[in-house]
Amino acid sequence: MASPRNIGQNYKTLGGGGGGQYVLDYLKRMQAEKPCFFYAIQGVDDLSNANANNVNVNNVFWADAASKANYIYFGDAVRLDTSYRSKRYRLPLATFTGLNHHAQPVLFGCALLFNESQSSFIWLLQNWVRAMSGHHPVSITTDLDPLIKMAVEHVLPNVRHRFCSWSIFKETQEKLASVCQTKTKTKTNPAFEFEMEFKKCINEVETIEEFESCWLSLLDRCALTDNEWLQSLYNARHHWVHVYMRDTFFGDLSMAEASSPVNSFFDGFVNASTTIQSLIKQCDKAITSWHEKELKADLDTINITPVLKTPSPMEKQAANLYTRRIFMKFQGELVETLANPATKIDDSGTVAAYRVAKFGEEHKAHIVSINELEMKANCSCQMFEFSGIICRHILSVFRAKNVLTLPSQYILKRWTRDAKSGVGGVGDEIIPEFSSDSQESLTSRYNNLRQEAIKFVEEGAKSIYIYNVAMNALQEARKKVATAKKKKFDATQGSLEANGCNHEIHAGEDNQSKTCTHLSLVEKEKKIRELTAELQSTNQRCEVYRANLLAVLRDMEDQKLKLSVKVQNARLSLKE
């Protein structure tokens, strides 16, 4: 096992600065105010006996209710950032983050790591998973660190692990400074730059074979074939080179985002002079700031109607489904279908294959296979698998086949306006009903109230009259909430007494309830059969409507062509 790295000893605010006591007071206060707040201190099982000395020496992790709520909806792709310990920050801070439905960073938990070892990272990941109710993500991105790699393999063995390519580029610059800072002349390129070509080799290749060829060529031209650092990177290529990772969801909308640093959540809020006390305060400020940005993005999505660039019904459908940022990405792919025609190259039964290439770039063609009965397609670029946004190549095939709307399997809910309603993103977890005070119920109530509040604010600001009505309603609602909170204890006591008095009645009605349950099951089965028959009938009608609609569209295209010919003939006649 690798030796531990003790960075807490060098952190100026721990020891006599009272940093440890400040952190402990913060954690205890947060848990007292918000029972859903989770925290853990490594080596301390009984948190009631925790003291400042524990915090000064050991690692600490915490996650609030908002972090847990974020994870329910957006915990499919996670980033563990430990880069704050670098020379730029010199902070023992680690964060778990992801991307929300606007592709903005959201927080899943924070940690202070004063003692870094394999066992420490295992402890951190185990407690983070525990705080997230045991749910594992689809993928996790971390800095290049052998201790983290071993910990991920131990705690998250079935989760796809990726190294942040930005950290790899940065470390490569440091280890190969003499090569990166000079221009190397070659026979084929008189101004060859290693750093630029290195990034091209990683980000711009389309296939594994192309990467292998490009990598060998790069090492050969720079005489770096025996370089140990580059050899170690090549051995770990399945953990960071895009062509090896693109079959898994990571949530990056572009290669530029995939190559960006992971520590964007607290950028602008912490620096090398940040103390332990101000670190906690700045964390809260960053959380508030990003929450406000998410609210603004929600309002922009609701209030700003996107400009459509095509007459496609699919574009209008996407504009109503996706958030503003995600729609812009989808729209870009849809517009590109005009320059990327699809040509059928194979048709074997229900599965057909198409070749899609941009005009003038036939050598960069992609292959799309499509099941024509189920309307399920797969593209060699694997953009949908990697980012959750359908690619231009599949859209080109849909266009060729007159598919007018986007099939539901290509609409990832985590990117939609309704990402926080109903079913969550991690494991498609259904939020329970509001009958308990569990964390999931609290999360659901919070998000539903938040969505309704956004709509209320939007309507209330339209005129001074509506504004006054809205303010009066809010004041009345606040009084009712205060009254309800005051009566909560009495209501709970009454409920307990009622349950005690009715215990014998419930026991006496046991046999009758079983009979009712049996009858209700028969009725449910009957209803299911009726609904199934109705669904089949509706599907048949839909197919007829779809065929009729396609026929109308073809007639419109024919009429448009004939009209164009007549207009052209008329112009020629006038010229004569």
AA identity, residue 260:
S
Average pLDDT on 520-543 reads 69
Q: Is residue 305 part of a domain?
A: no
Q: What pLDDT, on a 0 to 100 scale, did the predictor assign at position 312? A: 93
Q: Are residues 239 and 182 in the same domain?
A: yes
Q: How many helices (H) and strands (E) does the chain have?
A: 21, 15
Q: Is residue 88 part of a domain?
A: yes
Phi (first) and psi of residue 561, to 5 degrees: -65, -45
Inter-residue contact 37 to 31 (CB < 8 Å): yes
Return the HEC string of 49-74. Answer: HCCHHHHHHCCEEEECHHHHHHHHHH
Distance CA 248, CA 253 (A): 13
Highest mean pLDDT among 134-143, 359-368, 512-521: 134-143
Distance CA 203, CA 169 (A): 12
Q: Are residues 182 and 61 in the same domain?
A: no
Question: What total number of domains does the chain contain?
Answer: 4
Give the three-state DSSP class for 276. helix
Q: Is residue 149 part of a domain?
A: yes
- 235 by Cβ neighbours in 10 Å (0-12 / 13-18 / 19+) ranks as exposed
Q: What pLDDT digit, counting tens, does each position of 261-305 carry?
A: 655 788 888 887 888 888 888 999 999 999 999 999 999 999 999
DSSP assignment string, 174-202 = HHTHHHHTSEE--SS-TTEEHHHHHHHHH
pTM above 0.75, yes or no: no
Distance CA 30, CA 26 (A): 6
Which of 380, 336, 378 has its CA nearest to residue 359?
336
Q: Are residues 147 and 233 in the same domain?
A: no
Query: By mean pLDDT, which of 138-152, 276-290, 322-336 is the weakest?
Result: 276-290
Helices (H), 140-246: 146-155, 165-175, 177-180, 194-203, 208-221, 228-235, 242-245
Q: Is residue 373 part of a domain?
A: yes
Distance CA 75, CA 97 (A): 9
Query: In this model, does residue 14 exceed pLDDT 50?
Result: no
Q: Are residues 197 and 109 in the same domain?
A: no
C-alpha angle 504-505-511 in degrees, rounded to nearest 5: 105
DSSP assignment string, 314-361 = HHHHHHHHB-HHHHHHHHHHHHHGGGS-EEEEEEETTEEEEEE--TT-
Average pLDDT on 158-170 reads 92
Q: Are residues 141 and 55 in the same domain?
A: yes
Q: Are residues 220 and 249 in the same domain?
A: yes
Q: What pLDDT, on a 0 to 100 scale, did the predictor assign at position 10? A: 44
Residue that is last in its domain, among 357, 384, 415: 415
Q: Are residues 98 and 202 in the same domain?
A: no
183 bridge partner residues: 193
Q: Are residues 5 and 119 in the same domain?
A: yes
DSSP, res 429: P
Q: Is residue 80 part of a domain?
A: yes
Q: Which domain holds residue 349?
A: 315-415
> E strands along 65-104, which residues?
77-81, 93-99
Q: Is residue 400 part of a domain?
A: yes
AA identity, residue 501:
C
Q: What pLDDT, on a 0 to 100 scale, did the predictor assign at position 124? A: 97
First-to-last C-alpha distance (Å) of the chain: 90
Q: What is the CA radius of gyration of the chain?
A: 29
Q: Are residues 192 and 284 in the same domain?
A: no
Residue that is last in its domain, among 399, 415, 431: 415
Inter-residue contact 181 to 121 (CB < 8 Å): no
The size of the chain, in residues, is: 576
Cα-based distances in Å from 53 to 15, 20, 24, 119, 576 = 8, 7, 10, 20, 98
Which of 454, 55, 564 has its CA nearest to residue 276?
55
Q: Are residues 95 and 58 in the same domain?
A: yes
Which of 390, 437, 434, 388 has its CA nearest to residue 413?
388
Q: Are residues 16 and 127 in the same domain?
A: yes
Distance CA 395, CA 335 (A): 10
Joined tokens for residue 216:
């060998």
Q: What pLDDT, on a 0 to 100 scale, did the predictor assign at position 221? A: 86
**Sorting pLDDT into bands at 50, 70 and 90, what band is 472?**
confident
Average pLDDT on 404-408 reads 93
Q: Is residue 441 part of a domain?
A: no
Q: What pLDDT, on a 0 to 100 scale, did the predictor assign at position 426? A: 54
Average pLDDT on 317-337 reads 96
Q: What pLDDT, on a 0 to 100 scale, did the predictor assign at position 546? A: 62
Q: Is residue 492 part of a domain?
A: no
Q: What pLDDT, on a 0 to 100 scale, did the predictor assign at position 448? A: 66
Q: Are residues 63 and 182 in the same domain?
A: no
Higher pLDDT, residue 58 or 367 = 367
DSSP assignment string, 489-558 = HHHHHHHHHHHHHTHHHHHHTHHHHHHHHHHHHHHHHHHHHHHHHHHHHHHHHHHHHHHHHHHHHHHHHH
Give the three-state DSSP class for 306. coil
> E strands along 217-304, which residues?
none
C-alpha angle 79-407-137 in degrees, rounded to nearest 5: 20
Q: What is the CB neighbour count within 10 angstroms for residue 434?
A: 12
